[in-house]
Structures are given as C-alpha cells and as structure tokens.
Chains A and B, each alone.
Chain A
Amino acid sequence: MAEVTGPLFEALTLPHLSALYRLALRMVGDPSAAEDLVQETYLRALRSFATLRDPARAKAWLFQILSRLVIDRHRSSRREVPLPEDEELERFSLYQRIADEDPFPYSDDVHGDFLAEFRDDDVRRALLAIPEIYRVPLVLVYVEEMSYRELADVLGCPVGTVMSRLFRGRKALERELWDCARRLGFVKEWPR
C-alpha cells in the first residue's frame, strides 16, 4: 500500500507545502514550531489519506488538519490567554481610543501616523497574542484570502460562527495593537 500511497500522496500534498508553512508560521510564530506543526499535519494527512475523496480539495483538507491541530493544542495545553468579557471586547474601538488620546497633536492624519509606528514584529506579535480560536480564522483570511464559505469548511463550523470569530478576532487584535502602543510609549492614556 505504501508503494502506491506514497507517490500519489506526495504529488497531491507537497505542492501546498509553502502555503502550509506560511500559515503555520503565522499561527505559532516560531520557525521551529512551525516546521513541527507542518510535519505533524503531513503525518496526520498521510494516516487519513483514504478520507480525501476529492483530490481538488487537497489544499483545503491540509489547511483543515493544520488549523484543527492548532486549536486542539490550545485546548489541551490549558494555556489561558486573558481576554476581556465578550461585550467589552466587542465594544473596543481602536479608532476611538486614538481619537480620544490624540497621540500626535500636530498630525493631519493621527490614525495613519499611529499605524505607521508599528514595525513588522509588533504586528506579528500582536497577532500571536490573541487566542487561537480567533487567530486561526484571521490568519486564514489575511494570509490565504479565504472566503467565509471556505473558512466554514476548513474550520467545520457555520458561516455565522466564522463571522463572529473574525469580528472578535479583529477586536482582540485592535486591543493588542493598543497595548503594544502603550508598551512602546507612543500612547499613555492619561487619566481623564
């Protein structure tokens, strides 16, 4: 069986290796951990290769395995990422915080100048700081430009759940960018 499965499996799955690695890196941050995650994805895919009925779905199928590995690891690691209550998170507005704080009083474009302060690593760290349940769909949208229907397929949940996770994920990301700006010192949130 291995003699038949091996070449066919590799022909269908290895063309997606670069995309899988890119996703894994943005989901876990560290190159070594990303490679481990990709290896685990391929090994799981190999073991369940018989369940792939439509070869045209190979890429989505691999993304599905990788995404579920990331989310399941979070569930089993007991690592808690503190997040404000849903309602507070959903009401958080980075736009409004910047307008209230006005960190660049002489700027004609205070919101644009605020965003221009972030380096590549700041943005990547902010993305890594949000919970996996929100980070995974966000990475799939940002890196792979997936549609909501494709996301629902990969994540195995209804489109409404995808929308809700993306909304909260973006709000969590905005909050992380604000916290990052405070750490970097270009906003201070003076008591009002």
Chain B
Amino acid sequence: MSGMSCDEAVRQFFAYLDQAMSGTPLQEFEQHLERCLDCCDKLQFSRRVDALVRTRVGDAPLPAGVEDRIRRRLAAAAGDPED
C-alpha cells in the first residue's frame, strides 16, 4: 500500500495536534487517517492526554508579594537611590 505508514503517522501526531502541519505532509497524514481507524483511535487518545496536561498545568496565579520583591531587586540592581 502506498502513502504514509502507521509508524510515520504516529511520529506526526503531535505536530498535527499542535497545528504545526501544512501542505503535502498534512494532506498525506489526513489521507492516512481516513483509512486507518487504529491511528484515529491513537490520535484521539493523544489528544486526550494533551487536554489532561493542559488543564492541570495551565493555571498558576502570581502569589502576593512577588512583584514587590522583584521591583525591589530591580531597583537595587539598577542603583536606584530609593532602594
């Protein structure tokens, strides 16, 4: 069978999920998916792993006091007489 193999398709999963594919490689990858349910299932799982990680690592509010401490360090480093 011509076209992309499953091994080659798997190597493209993340570039596809990150929307970093275009042109012929994207076309060949999507053609492979159209005829390979196994790769479709694996790709869907990779998408779910990505979503899991994104939702668990995205939020991290800046703690109180960090900005003030950094401003003071910067002022000291820049030789600000106020510091």
Given the known inter-chain contacts A21-B62, A148-B18, please indicate yes or no for A120 contacting B78, CB distance below 8 A. Answer: no
Stretch among A65-73, A76-84, A163-171, A181-189 lining the B interface: A163-171
Q: Is the CB of A147 within 8 A of B69?
A: no
**Closest beta carbon of chain A to B9's beta carbon, Å:** 13
Q: Chain B interface mostly helix, strand, loop or mixed?
A: helix
- The answer to whether A43 and B73 have CB atoms under 8 Å apart is yes
Chain B residues with Cβ below 8 Å from A35 are 63, 66, 69
Flag whether A58 is at the interface (Cβ < 8 A). Answer: no
In the complex, whether B1 has a CB less than 8 A from a CB of chain A is no
- C-alpha spacing A34/B76, complex, angstroms: 20
Roughly how many angstroms separate A83 CA and B24 CA in the complex, as a whole number? 34
Residue numbers of A with Cβ under 8 A of B are: 2, 5-6, 9-10, 14, 17-18, 21-22, 25-26, 31, 35, 38-39, 42-43, 46-47, 93-95, 111-112, 115, 118, 120, 123-124, 127, 139, 141-143, 147-148, 163, 166-167, 170, 173-174, 177
CA distance A43 to B10 in the complex (A): 42
Q: List residues of chain B with CB under 8 Å of any chain A CB.
A: 10-11, 14-15, 18-20, 41-42, 45-46, 48-50, 52-54, 56-63, 66-67, 69-71, 73-75, 77-80
B-chain residues with CB within 8 Å of residue A17 when the two chains form the complex: 62, 66-67, 70
State the total of A-B contacts with C-beta under 8 angstroms. Answer: 106
The verdict on A39 contacting B14 (CB below 8 Å), with A6-B75, A120-B56 known, is no
Which residues of B are found within 8 Å of A31, using beta-carbon distances?
63
Beta-carbon contact of A43 and B71 below 8 Å: no
What 7 pairs across the A-B complex have the smallest Cβ distances? A123-B56, A2-B78, A22-B60, A148-B20, A2-B79, A95-B45, A6-B78
In whole Å, how far is A13's beta carbon from the nearest beta carbon of chain B? 9
With A35-B63, A39-B70, A148-B20 given, can you name 20 additional A-B contacts, CB distance below 8 Å?
A: A2-B80, A6-B74, A6-B75, A6-B80, A10-B74, A17-B66, A22-B58, A22-B62, A35-B69, A42-B74, A46-B78, A94-B45, A95-B45, A123-B52, A124-B56, A139-B57, A142-B54, A147-B18, A148-B15, A148-B18
